[in-house]
Amino acid sequence: MKNLEKLSLLNISKSFFIKDKKIDVLNDVNLDVSPGEFVSIIGPSGCGKSTLLKLIIGLSSQTAGSILLGGHELQYSTHDIGIVFQEARLFPWLSVYKNITFGLENKQLSEDDKNDVQKHIKLVGLESFADAYPSQLSGGMQQRVSIARALISHPKVLLLDEPFGALDAITRIHMQQEITRIWQTEKSTILLVTHDIDEAIFLSDRVIVMSNRPATIKKIIPVELPRPRDRNGYDFLLLRKKIYKEFFDEIEIPFSFNI
């Protein structure tokens, strides 16, 4: 069992400079994600959602504020955080197995490690495809590989940046069921960025609505529906309506839109 810890974003701001023009992207973002919690972030395109995840994984650094895990500044040399992007970003010349083990720092895999790899291949439902190459897999299967690759180093927090955005609607619904099962089995803390409001309600304990850029947290909506969730249930539809309203307040709609 992993020793899960609280992730805290404290007064996070981020600005970019393009030539000498300053672009404020995030403005005073504050969020605590509890150990084992599933939190989704939705917000207008370009508001800074991916930027926020990049700060958490250490691909970029914040202009102000701090990111804590278990009350301590995040150490990027550890494997505490894992990430899955919209595109699977696999190495085409490596098999599923080798793609998953690639990040294990070229160490000689012990029997325990090998068992763990097999366990993760099974966890994402790719037992028959360990020797397949990415070009031999569907988009959904490729995303399963990138999920296994992110989980193999047992991160305390898994970041998902629109991971199902490039998949067709049916595969996406299937992957949403799968990620719920994986989250319940692995007991990770998950922070998901999505533009799909139904996906956010279906998956999360809380939905965070971000404002336009410079983005801050506009609203936090708890989802207290029992799992597995019924997308057509009355309470689900009520929540959808509430979140649509928050979300569409943020973007300009060029036509009359009744929700």
Applying CB under 5 A, which of residues 8, 40, 50, 204 lies at the interface with Mg ion? 50
Minimum Å gap between C-beta 248 and ligand ADP is 16
Q: How far is 195 from 182, CA to CA, in rounded Å?
A: 21
The yes or no reply on residue 8 touching Mg ion (CB under 5 A) is no
- Does residue 205 sit in helix, strand or coil? coil
Q: Taking the CA atoms of 51, 52, 56 and 57 in sequence, report the sign of the dihedral they define.
A: negative
For binding to ligand ADP (CB under 6 A), which residues are involved?
Answer: 16, 18, 23, 25, 43, 45-51
Which residue lies nearer to ligand ADP by CB, 8 or 50?
Answer: 50
Minimum Å gap between C-beta 81 and ligand ADP is 17
Instruction: Please check whether residue 243 is in contact with residue 206, taking contact to mean a CB–CB distance below 8 angstroms.
Output: no
**CA nearest to 12, candidates 53, 42, 72, 41:** 53
Which residue lies nearer to ligand ADP by CB, 162 or 178?
Answer: 162
Structure tokens at 115: 């068992």
Minimum Å gap between C-beta 210 and ligand ADP is 8
φ and ψ of 162, to 5 deg: 45, 55
Site map 198..217 versus Mg ion, x via CB under 5 A: --------------------
Which residue lies nearer to ligand ADP by CB, 28 or 113?
Answer: 28
47 binds, among Mg ion, ligand ADP, none (CB under 5 to 8 A by kind): ligand ADP
What element of type H or E holds 222? strand 217-222
Q: How far is 124 from 165, CA to CA, in rounded Å?
A: 18
Minimum Å gap between C-beta 258 and ligand ADP is 26
Contact residues for Mg ion (CB under 5 A)?
50
